[in-house]
Amino acid sequence: MSQTGPLTDDGLVQLLTPTGERTPHPELDARVAHLDADALRAMYRDMVLVRRFDTEATSLQRQGELALFAQSLGQEAAQIGSAHAMTARDHVFPSYREHGVAHARGVDMADVLRLFRGVDHGGWDPVAHGFHLYTLVIGSHTLHATGYAMGLQRDGLVGTGDAERDSAVVVYFGDGATAQGDVNEALVFAAVNNAPVVFFCQNNQWAISEPTTKQARVPLADRGPGFGVPSVRVDGNDVLATYAVTQWALERARSGGGPTFVEAFTYRMGAHTTSDDPTRYRSSAEEEYWRRRDPIDRLRLHLEQVGELPAEFVAQVADDADRLGERIRTEVRAMGRPSPASMFDHVYATPHSVVDAERAWFERYEASFDAGSTSEGSHR
């Protein structure tokens, strides 16, 4: 693997060129051979929907409906490709911008916004979707993922040879996260336990204002082997390649082959979050360069070239995206403020006298305002 600058993408596994031509790959071709036009169109649809979700959520934030939002703009291929390679039995640990993966795991996109609206710390059932809650503390969840994978091993769900049983874990994190101690410890634990976990690093090249060179002096994928974890560097804007590589890594994990480190080299086309101003630290030329390697355009061009993108389908997807946008707008605006006393719910799984006493005090205190009906404009 060569040491590459941020504007080049040599040394990456690629199955589709930026202009949509299919490039042959000796090992991975077999892994995508079963993907028919319907499967590719499903990926295209998911990417378009997620992008609409990003656009809608960003404007909701601008209108004051969300406190904050972190777009996945530009990272659709990394997320949708990898998510399509999973089975329902696999378990995902996301960080906080894996909206595409959430969508592919059947999480309602409106629920994803509960966290960003400030009405919920989670928003979906992590067990039902095999998709853990978002983790805001950088890197913590790579250890949770590894532990979960160690649990799968103990439960006899790894390497059984039964495709209906074998399971694995995928954990998503950014390039900045690779500097955290937790991530390095997770790699150590995964390696020595041969845990069935895929470390999926979306190298979107920026950790807020810091370029990847502030986190590492080698391509991030080069870290894996030092821990005894094989690694792959894949073109993160190529949905076929991210699919193939993840499928390969997952199969290794499920069959007892152990962990893999995947570096999906991509680009964060938007700001870090809606409170960030990327013009302070990166050039519009760089943004323009990446706009021309858009992951959705790439698959669209490919489908057009092979004559598998009928106009009706494109129109239908655009229509679906519009409806998703509308639904999200309506549902987010309707998300009510939780009852204040709900802050005392679920602090513990069993009764706790301090919480109970504080809740009782709080409710009496609230009621005293209702009695005097002077709570309007009060600053409790």
Ligand X SMILES: Cc1ncc(C[n+]2csc(CCOP(=O)(O)OP(=O)(O)O)c2C)c(N)n1
Do the strands 169-174 and 91-93 form a parallel or antiparallel pair, or are they unpaired?
Answer: parallel
Tokens 């609206």 locate to 117
Report d(CA 28, CA 351) in Å as an integer: 54
**Residue 267 C-beta: closest distance to ligand X, Å:** 10
Bridge partner residues of 13 (DSSP): 234
Binding mask 155-194 for ligand X (x = CB under 6 A): -------------------xxxx-----------------
Please pick, among 117, 132, 141, 268, the residue that the annotation labels catalytic. Answer: 268
- The secondary structure of 224-286 as a DSSP string is HHHHT--EEEEETT-HHHHHHHHHHHHHHHHTT---EEEEEE----S-SSTT--GGGTS-HHH
* Span from 33-41, 147-155, 200-208, 237-245 in contact with ligand X (CB under 6 A): 200-208
Question: Apex CA 127: angle with CA 251 and CA 83, to 5°?
Answer: 40
Positions in 70-99 near ligand X (CB under 6 A)? 97
Assess whether 327 carries a catalytic annotation.
Answer: no
# binding residues, other proteins (CB under 8 A): 46
Q: Angle at the Cα of 13 (from 283 to 262), degrees rounded to 5?
A: 80
208 binds ligand X (CB under 6 A): yes
Catalytic residue among 62, 121, 281, 289: 281
Identify residues 335-354 at the interface with ligand X (CB under 6 A): none
- 215 touches other proteins (CB under 8 A): yes
Is 281 noted as a catalytic residue in this protein?
A: yes
CB of 142 to ligand X, least distance (A): 11
According to the binding rule CB under 8 A, does residue 367 interact with other proteins?
no
226 binds other proteins, rule: CB under 8 A: no
Choose the stretch contacting ligand X; rule: CB under 6 A; options: 82-90, 158-166, 199-207, 294-302.
Answer: 199-207
Which C-beta is closer to ligand X: that of 79 or that of 246? 79
Could you give the CA distance from residue 177 to residue 182 in angstroms, rounded to a whole number? 9
On whether the CB atoms of residues 195 and 185 are closer than 8 A, the answer is: no
Contact yes or no for 223/214 (Cβ under 8 A): no
Contacting range for other proteins; rule: CB under 8 A; set: 98-106, 141-149, 315-323, 372-380: 372-380
Residue 305, SS3 per DSSP: helix
31 binds, among ligand X, other proteins, none (CB under 5 to 8 A by kind): none
Cα–Cα dist 43/374, whole Å: 55
How many Cβ atoms sit within 10 Å of the Cβ of residue 242?
Answer: 33
Nearer to other proteins, 38 or 370 (CB): 370
Q: For residues 120 and 308, which CB has a smaller minimum distance to other proteins in the complex?
A: 120
SS3 call for 13: strand
Q: What gap in Å lies between CA 328 and CA 72, rounded to an integer?
A: 16
Please confirm, yes or no, whether 268 is among the known catalytic residues.
Answer: yes
Q: For tokens 């962990």, what's the residue?
A: 259
Token digits of residue 369: 């305002």
Residues in contact with other proteins by the rule CB under 8 A:
67-68, 115-121, 136-138, 176-177, 179-182, 207-210, 214-215, 275-276, 280-281, 337-340, 342-344, 347, 352, 354-355, 358, 362, 365, 369, 378-380
Residues in contact with ligand X by the rule CB under 6 A:
97, 136-138, 174-177, 204, 206-208, 268, 272
Name the residues annotated as catalytic.
268, 272, 281
